[in-house]
A and B are shown apart, each in its own frame.
Chain A
Amino acid sequence: MSGHSKQSLEPARKAALWRPIAGILLASFVLGLVYNRAAPLGLRSRNGTAAAATNASTTPVKVPAKGYFSETVVISLEPIVAGSPLNRALSGNTSLASSPSSQPRNEAAIPTIPWAEVKTLAQASKIVLVDARAAPYYQAEHIPGAVSLPGNMPAAELAAFTQKYPRSSAVVVYCATDECPLARSLASVLRDRYGYSNVKVMAGGFAEYRVAEQGHSQGPGK
């Protein structure tokens, strides 16, 4: 008798477990979707990013003929193996930053520049916009026109960048947020080791760009 009642209770018990699990999963998915739309560092489709960055209105994206381009200096994605970890690139413990000869001398002295100014200058092809985040983040999404120069890039490969862009170029470096140390360390390396005299860090980083462009596209009549 008790065995029978146990058997009949089992499906009800399982249903009682699976329904809340399904509810939690659904709630998480909905919350994730809503939050992702609102979060400055949320995920966007690649097409959506380009539209948001180059054009605040709903008209089709027009990439300026000269200068406002998108390219990657990294020839191929660096294999994520021991010695070149993604996490070290994120934490700033990179091959550039960790090398004793390449220690930034005065990161704090590097001036910052707001996104509004960067946008104007980039559209006028007056600056080289550099994305200091690791390559997967750049590939996932970046400010249109930005060049990928990840912090974990070996110093030898940085030479490709220096050969392409003269020392007189105005360079603006950005990372994910102000908390990310890669922008400042890369900017100081470019200035102190490679002689770029006009190097700035974009205030707020990629998050600031997101906030500014989202605010723009949501504004009435803009």
Chain B
Amino acid sequence: MKIAFEVGWKTSLRWLVALLLVWAALPKLGNLQEFYGDLLAYRLPLPDLLLRSIAMTLPWLELLCGLMVAARVWLRPALALASMLSAAFAMATGQAWARGLDISCGCLKLSLLGLSAEATGAWGRLFDSVGFAFFRALLLGAAALYLLRQKVEMSGEEWTRAAG
């Protein structure tokens, strides 16, 4: 019974991580310029070429990682990358939050669910804020690290049995 619960819990967590990664990727792919603008708003001390490269690469990185976590293909590398991405997001949003930049986090977009800023109002703005994004990145990173640790501790066959 306990095993069944743990398997269900880990599978749900894995799907949640995958879903968040894919959700984060799709709006960015829909409008790379908007994401680039979001990156500019973070005012990171990075050269423009690097910011443009990040704007082009990051959505695909998120999408590939999300799909791999969902499909359990290259699960360990995908989870490791998801952890690193989350750490980077947490740093970027954390510094923006600490500096008082009230900007769009550029991560998860409610528009993907057919919700507009007018319809969602204060909740939508809270969801899109950097402070909320900071905690979300921490949680996503923790979830990915937890799954990665579980994966490391188990053999491949055990994992396949357990997480499937």
Contacts and interface: CB of A to CB of B under 8 A. Distances in A.
Interface of A: 17, 20-21, 23-25, 27-29, 31-33, 35-36, 39, 41-43, 80-88, 90-93, 133-134, 136-137, 140-141, 176-177, 179, 206
Query: Which of B30, B102, B116 neighbours the largest number of chain A CB atoms within 10 Å of its CB?
Result: B102
Interface stretch (B13-21, B52-60, B137-145): B52-60
Contact of A25 (B32, B33, B61, B124): B61
13 contacts: A17-B80, A20-B77, A23-B77, A24-B81, A25-B57, A25-B61, A28-B61, A32-B60, A36-B32, A86-B37, A90-B34, A140-B37, A177-B31
A200 B124 CA distance: 30
A91 B32 CA distance: 16
Interface of B: 29-34, 36-38, 40-41, 43, 52-53, 55-61, 64-65, 68, 74, 76-78, 80-81, 100-104, 111, 116-118, 124-125, 128
Name the prevailing secondary structure of the B interface residues: helix
B60 A28 contact: yes
Contacts of B53: 29, 32
Name the prevailing secondary structure of the A interface residues: helix
Contacts of A23: 77
A35 B103 contact: no
Q: Which 9 A-B pairs have the closest CB atoms?
A: A87-B104, A91-B117, A32-B56, A20-B77, A28-B60, A28-B61, A32-B57, A85-B102, A31-B60
